[in-house]
Structure 1
Amino acid sequence: MSARILRITGASVVWSPGLASSEPTTLECVDGRIVTAPTGALPADASPTGAVPADARIDTAQFDTARVDTLDAEGGVITPGLVNAHHHLLQSAFRTLPGTRGVEMSVWLGRMREAYVAARVDPDLVGLAARVALAESLLCGVTTVADHHLTWPPGVDSVQIAGAAFAAARDVGARLVFVRGTAGCDPDAAASSVAAIHSTHLPGARRGVTDDGMRQLAVGPSGIHADGPATFGALGEIARTLGLRRRTQANEQVDVARAAEQYGRRPLDLLDEWGWLAPDVTLAHLCDITDSEVALVAAGGVTVTHAPACDLPMGWGVAPVARLLDRGVRVGLGTSGGGSNDAGHLLADARLAMQVAPLAGRPLDALEALTMATAGGADGLGRPELGRLTPGSAADLVVWDVSGVADAGVADPVGGLLWANPGRRPRHVVVGGVVVVRDFELVNTEEQALAADLREQCARRRIGR
């Protein structure tokens, strides 16, 4: 048998949730999988859940020929590829729109909706925005992105919209989880759309994931503020039929207000009643959540996605991340979309999560935040092979350069990734054993050309004018 081997040599530190090595390390990947791991274990209570089973590990002795590529990580820090567990890729064409900053969520939603209609959203715009957002993600060390897509213009084929996003991910080399969302859509039409997207773009996929792990499909009502029990029921049923993960947004300002106005209830009470507090469900935001609701989420085995760089600047609240973690809830990290965050820099958002955590509970340390940005998000996607560097895991990793002035004097180089220079660009990024960023530049496409293409489209459609 032949093999494709990637060796990453010379790193000063290799970190994975629950594991770390400070010895000069050679990390080896075979056919897209990790075959070595950090050697120094952290305390047992720091070990991640959902690790890849031992029988998935790879025996390199079975290969008699190999093509070997070497990647120089001299002096750098290696981490797993980051997992952006909540994004809205389309919004990268709608950043810093006038009238969309510092406003109530109900106002923001209306203004964004008006902008989408005026721009005539179609697969072309979806594809261009996704290429830019996913390229930006790779250049921020993010290797997997969950795109909660909520915009479905009348007369536009949903299969083509999903196809445009998947094609963008293929072109730049990122993993994409496409979440077929709803925001007031017809429930039966939305469920039929999920089935059509699955049969077209993921035929034969198990758990909604292609064999190479590069494409995944999930379902996701926008939230109780936009969708009722019929939609949650229809998408829940098609998810069970196809084995897909479920995701929604909960306990944001407008969500709490609408639930009280329309049902006289709290959003999480309704989600529990509708069967949406379960281990296959991820809830994003949770800005307004009580202690009893934290217990309800924990009891349901639900995973959570924190999006501080969306919620905080907009004045929409602070999720009590530490309280959730302390109750055993797996928490991931997301940027949300360009319409509220403007950036896709998950490392910077991990720093922000640490900075504001004391306002909603207790401080977070850097390893907790980095675990949220890796294994926490991966587990929320039902993907234990992502977000960690253990034998058998997917070979998604990032080499961070720590040789500059921003890292001088840093005693803890892993913590320093977040505290000292969270806006850094990675030196190298690997997805599935394939180098997609080398020496700080994209490999598969030209950054300036991507930016120019989207700028031209935004100007032609008068977005932001």
Structure 2
Amino acid sequence: MSVLVVRGAVAVLEDAGRVRTGDVIVVDGAVVDDADTTDAEILDASGCVVTAGLVNAHHHLLQTAFRTLPGTRGIPMREWLPAMAAAYNAAGIDPELTGLAARAGLAEALLSGVTTVADHHLTWPSGADTVGMARAAAAAAADVGARLVSVRGAARDDPQEAASSAQAIVDALVPDRPGGVSADGMLQVAVGPAGVHSDPRETFDLLGEVAHRHGLRRRTQANEVVDVEIALERYGRRPLDLLEDWGWLAADVTLAHLCDVTPDEIGRVAASGTSATHAPGCDVPMGWGVAPVRALRDAGIAVGLGTSGGGSNDAGHLLADARLAMQVSALVGPQLPASEVLSMATSGSADGLGRTELGRLTPGSAADLCLWDVSGVADAGVADPVAGLLWASPGRRPRTVVVGGRVVVDAGRLVRADEGEIVARLFERVTR
């Protein structure tokens, strides 16, 4: 039996605004109420706020290899999508690049306090080794010590080929696992077309069949600007009308973005039990909209937080995007308090993945946690150190990160991988 005690914190954020002091006790990778700590490993949290590991509910890890590309900033989404597609085609998407990009993105995630990443991978060239690509991303997560939700997405893929690939990925990565979650909880498989702007009903139907067969979560993107425009042009209807008809408003579905939604649509999403993911670090700087998070939450919709990918955000720093979410919320309704946004970045995101053991530090939860040093000058004068995690020190990094009871970041450095080597290998691949 392994016992870890996190001791001496300024504050411990347990769940949804519940703050306490005292120890966090971990036994065999799970948080417990109490245990014999005689021979425990002690993790000194002096001067720190302890939170659950952040959960990035919407990322595109491949885009880590395609950041700040010329001609991809401040342009309409109709122009951005083909610009990114051209870059992917020129680079050649294969298992090697998929793994290297995922390794860099996941290392960045851990170093910024994110312990679980949902990777909505949308680029699967026809005829490619898609199982090899999924394996490469999973191996990258295992290498650095992060949890990964591997989403077999689709973006104009042949529907039959996408479904066959999704089934093969389940068989290869999580065979016979309930909900597509590995026995150790470190890997999860889900499915999700890019959106109605990209994929026909057949793709939604066939990927949905794979999901229902294995109890997988379903995910898609909805109601960004281009999504609404193309749905109206192609079908004469709005995206959520289509998703409702196609069976993709349901309790096992999470919708990313939701920038342009009406009160009626919000009510229908809430009634269906569908959850949502806010991605302000993508949508705001690109001018694609701001999701009305206050209205979504007030309707009873579970809302998580994601960064989206490096092609639009350029950073995978979820805490920085949580700060942005808090700040821009006042543009579309009452301002969200820091406590709510922190819960979105932890338990809210985890719940949308069907992983209620993540994103909180209550007994029985997985021992994924971060120690955030609040003793420096950036936090001087801060009255509420938990709220200060967002209001003060933009871009702060955790001192220590633990995943499943194991330290994976110590003194701000990766424990299981070399950051310089990760960077060098990705640059070598993308500059060939």
Structure 1 residues 232-260: Cα deviation after superposition (integer angstroms, max 9, x where no partner): 11111110001000000001111111110
Matched, 1:35 2:32: yes
Quick check: 2:17–2:340 contact (8 Å CA) kept in 1? no
| CA distance 1:27–1:116, change in 2 (3 Å) | same
- 2:12 corresponds in structure 1 to 14
One-letter amino acid matched to 2:269:
V
Correspondence for 2:292: 320
Give 1:421 deviation, angstroms. 1.2
Look up the match of 1:108.
80
The alpha-carbon deviation at position 19 of structure 1 amounts to: 5.2
Which residue of 192, 215, 229 maps to 1:220?
Answer: 192
Once the two structures are superposed, residues 197-216 of structure 1 have per-residue CA deviations (whole angstroms, 9 ceiling, x without a partner) of: 11111122111101110000
Q: Which residue of 1 aligns with 2:370?
A: 398
| Change in 2 beyond 3 A, CA 1:163/1:231 | same
- Aligned counterparts of 2:368 and 2:157: Cα–Cα separation in 1: 35
Q: State how far apart, in whole Å, the 2-side matches of 1:154 and 1:372 are.
A: 36
Mapped contact 2:208–2:218 kept (Cα < 8 A): yes
8 Å Cα contact 2:17-2:343 kept in structure 1? no
RMSD of aligned C-alpha atoms? Answer: 1.3
Question: What does residue 211 of structure 1 align with?
Answer: 183
Map of 2:240 onto structure 1 = 268
TM-score with structure 2 length normalisation?
0.98
For residues 27-63 of structure 1, the C-alpha deviation after alignment (integer angstroms, 9 at most, x for no partner) is 1101110013xxxxxxxxxxxxxxxxxxxxxx747xx
SS of residue paired to 1:347? helix
- Partner letter of residue 107 of structure 2? A
Deviation at 1:218, TM superposition (A): 0.3
Separation in 1 of the partners of 2:285 and 2:237? Answer: 27
Q: Shift in Å at residue 361 of structure 1?
A: 1.5
User: 1:12·1:76 contact (CA, 8 Å) conserved in 2?
Assistant: yes
Answer whether contact 1:5 1:66 (CA < 8 A) is retained.
no
Per the TM alignment, residue 22 of structure 1 is displaced from its structure 2 partner at its CA by 4.4
Deviation at 1:177, TM superposition (A): 0.1
Match of residue 412, structure 2, among 430, 440, 443: 440
Deviation at 1:281, TM superposition (A): 0.2
Listed one character per residue, the Cα deviations across residues 343-374 of structure 1 (whole Å, up to 9, x for unaligned) are 01100101100111111121100001000000
State the match for 1:290 in structure 2.
262
Gap runs ≥5 in structure 1: 37-58, 461-465
> SS at 1:207's partner residue?
helix
Q: Is the 8 A contact 1:105 1:254 kept in 2?
A: yes
Q: CA deviation at 1:67?
A: 6.6
Rounded Cα–Cα distance in structure 1 between residues aligned with 2:213 and 2:173: 17
Name the SS of the counterpart of 2:289 in structure 1: coil
Cα 1:21–1:330, aligned 2, differ >3 Å: closer, same or farther? closer
One-letter code aligned to 1:187: P
Give the Cα–Cα distance (whole angstroms) in 2 for the partners of residues 149 and 319 of structure 1: 22
User: 110, 113, 117: which is aligned to 1:141?
Assistant: 113
Is contact 2:221–2:256 with CA below 8 Å preserved after alignment?
yes
| Cα distance, 1:453 vs structure 2 | 1.1
Contact 2:17–2:339 (Cα < 8 Å) also in 1: no
Pairing 1:20-169 to 2, within 5 Å after superposition: 20-23=18-21, 25-36=22-33, 60=35, 68-169=40-141
Of 352, 363, 387, the match for 1:415: 387
SS at 2:358's partner residue? Answer: coil
Task: Give 1:303's match in structure 2, choosing from 272, 275, 283.
Answer: 275
User: Hey, which bits of structure 1, 4+ residues long, moved more than 6 A?
Assistant: none
Residue of structure 2 equivalent to 1:171: 143
Segment of structure 1 superposing worse, 189-198 or 157-166? 189-198
- Give the match for residue 157 of structure 2: 185
- Structure 1 counterpart of 2:29, one-letter code: G
- What SS class does the counterpart of residue 220 from structure 2 fall into? strand
Distance 1:293 1:345, change over 3 A: same
Q: Do the aligned partners of residues 66 and 131 (structure 1) sit closer, same or farther apart at CA in structure 2, a change above 3 Å counting?
A: farther
Letter in 1 for 2:14: S
Q: What secondary structure is seen at the aligned counterpart in 2 of 1:223?
A: coil
TM-score (norm: length of structure 1): 0.91
Query: Which amino acid in the other structure matches residue 155 of structure 1?
Result: G
Separation in 1, partners of 2:18, 2:11: 7
Going from structure 1 to structure 2, the CA distance change for 1:177 and 1:66 (only over 3 Å counts) comes to farther
Deviation, structure 1 residue 16: 2.2
Checking the alignment, whether the CA contact within 8 Å between 2:108 and 2:316 is kept in structure 1 is yes
In structure 1, give the amino acid aligned to 2:359. G
Residue 213 of structure 2 corresponds to 241
Compared with structure 1, are the counterparts of its residues 29 and 95 closer, same or farther at alpha carbon in structure 2 (3 Å cutoff)? same
1:250 corresponds to which residue?
A: 222
Aligned residues of 1:4 and 1:67 also touching (Cα < 8 A): no
Give the one of 4, 10, 30 matched to 2:2: 4
- Asked whether the equivalents of residues 16 and 347 of structure 2 are also in contact (C-alpha less than 8 Å), the reply is no
State the AA in 2 paired with 1:144. Answer: T
Deviates more, 1:187-196 or 1:301-310: 187-196
Residue 179 of structure 1 aligns to a residue whose secondary structure is strand
Contact map agreement 1:9 1:72 (CA 8 A) in 2 = yes
CA offset digits 1:141-190 (Å, max 9, x no partner): 00000000010123311100000000000000000000000011111211
The SS at the match of 1:138 is: helix
CA distance in 2, matches of 1:202, 1:249: 24
What number of residue pairs does the alignment pair up?
Answer: 432
Contact 1:13-1:20 within 8 A present in 2 as well: no
Cα pair 1:143 1:396 within 8 Å, conserved:
yes
1-side partners of 2:182 and 2:4: how far apart?
23
Q: Partners of 2:54 and 2:42 in 1: how far apart?
A: 22
Gaps of 5+ in 2: none
Cα offset, 1:17, TM superposition: 2.1
